[in-house]
């Protein structure tokens, strides 16, 4: 009988787990996890993972994967203007984490811009019969809801204060002179009644002191002339350092002093941030 072949056991290779990865590789792996899952699911796992999520490296890697012109510009700014997290006692997580979670660039930072949720998010002063919310008389392209705010026969005023840091922007990015603040508002009139409309948008510092202002006072719409909506817009550039808030303020009334809601209609208000590429 021939000799039986030996059955030598090949030793198993040591298993590689996330717990055994060196910190630099763990950062690379976790950088592929979506931002919300990073915070809600990965951060509580252990102290090492929490330290990664609370640091800036994993978030910089997420920014680096956006190869668009704006993405490359943002990544360069994030390296050149790192956040110092002075406000970490006011906001949870590091500044870059808040930025990736909130994604403020390009998003409309005005809440309830068309009155689809009544007056939520707005400070309101009622003149005459006060503000009301109605369906649009004409379609406003791109609006999240075809509804509008309507004024009365005395001046009606409403305001929304946008906290740019709360929305996810870090202060050093705002101070970099590479951010533009784009504001827009749609307004119009009823065909059977004229109206007057005013817009004022102010950039404020952390103490709500005015730094820069834009005002628009279009000519009143006369009775029986038109009922279409038109847009007012402006871009704030080179607004200096220390900006934290945008105060978006609207005024309106009718020109006939009619009881009811026949004054200026306003809708689809917006405040958006963008990177200046040039």
Do 234 and 119 belong to one domain?
yes
Q: Are residues 116 and 97 in the same domain?
A: no
What is the chain's Cα-based Rg? 26
Among 58, 75, 102, identify where a domain stops: 102
In this prediction, residue 142 carries a pLDDT of 94
Contact 211, 201 (CB under 8 A): no
Task: Give CA–CA dist 112/160, Å, rounded.
Answer: 10
Share of residues in the chain with pLDDT > 70 (%): 91
pLDDT at 42: 92
266 C-beta neighbours (distance < 10 Å), count: 27
* pLDDT digits 0-9 by tens, 17-57: 667 788 889 999 999 999 999 999 999 999 999 999 999 99
pLDDT at residue 34, rounded to an integer: 95
For residue 147, what are the domain limits? 107-275
Q: What's the pLDDT band for 191 if we cut at 50, 70, 90?
A: confident
The reply to whether 3 falls in a domain is no
Distances from the Cα of 44 to the Cαs of 18, 35, 49, in angstroms? 15, 14, 8
**Same domain as 113, residue 76:** no
234 three-class SS: strand
- Whether the per-residue pLDDT at 1 is higher than 70: the answer is no
**What is the 3-class SS of 150-184, one letter each residue?**
ECCCCCEEEEEEEECCCCCCCHHHHCCCCEEEEEE
Residue 254 pLDDT: 96
97-128 pLDDT per residue, tens: 999 999 999 999 999 999 999 999 999 999 99
Q: What is the mean pLDDT of the chain?
A: 91
Whether 15 has a pLDDT exceeding 70, the answer reads no
- For position 22, what pLDDT does the model report? 86
Q: What is the phi/psi pair of residue 215, to 5°? A: -130, 145
Residues 254-272: tens digit of each pLDDT: 999 999 999 999 999 999 9
Among candidate residues 84, 102, 120, the one where a domain is terminated: 102
Domain count, the chain: 2
Say what the pTM is. 0.89
User: Which pLDDT score is estimated for 148?
Assistant: 97
């Amino acid at each position: 009988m021939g000799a039986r072949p030996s059955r030598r056991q090949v030793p198993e290779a040591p298993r590689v787990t996330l717990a055994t990865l060196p910190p630099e590789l763990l950062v690379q792996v976790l950088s592929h996890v979506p931002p919300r899952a990073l915070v809600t699911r990965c951060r509580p796992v252990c102290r090492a993972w929490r330290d990664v999520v609370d640091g800036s490296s994993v978030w910089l890697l997420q920014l680096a994967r956006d190869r668009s012109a704006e993405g490359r510009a943002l990544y360069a700014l994030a390296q050149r203007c790192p956040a110092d997290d002075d406000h970490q006692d006011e906001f949870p997580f590091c500044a870059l984490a808040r930025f990736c979670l909130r994604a403020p660039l390009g998003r409309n930072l005005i809440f309830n811009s068309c009155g689809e949720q009544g007056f939520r998010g707005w400070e309101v002063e009622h003149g005459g019969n006060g503000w009301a919310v109605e369906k649009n008389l004409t379609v406003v392209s791109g609006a999240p809801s075809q509804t509008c705010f309507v004024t009365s026969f005395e001046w009606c005023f409403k305001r929304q204060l946008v906290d740019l840091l709360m929305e996810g922007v870090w202060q050093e990015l705002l101070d970099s002179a590479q951010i533009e603040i784009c504001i827009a508002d749609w307004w119009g009139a009823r065909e059977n009644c004229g109206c007057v409309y005013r817009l004022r948008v102010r950039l404020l510092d952390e103490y709500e002191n005015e730094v820069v202002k834009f005002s628009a006072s279009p000519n009143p719409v006369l009775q029986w002339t038109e009922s279409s909506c038109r847009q007012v817009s402006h871009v704030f550039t080179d607004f200096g350092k220390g900006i934290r808030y945008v105060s978006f303020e609207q005024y309106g009334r009718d020109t006939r002093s009619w009881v009811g809601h026949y004054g200026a209609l306003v809708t689809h208000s917006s405040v958006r941030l963008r990177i200046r590429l040039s």
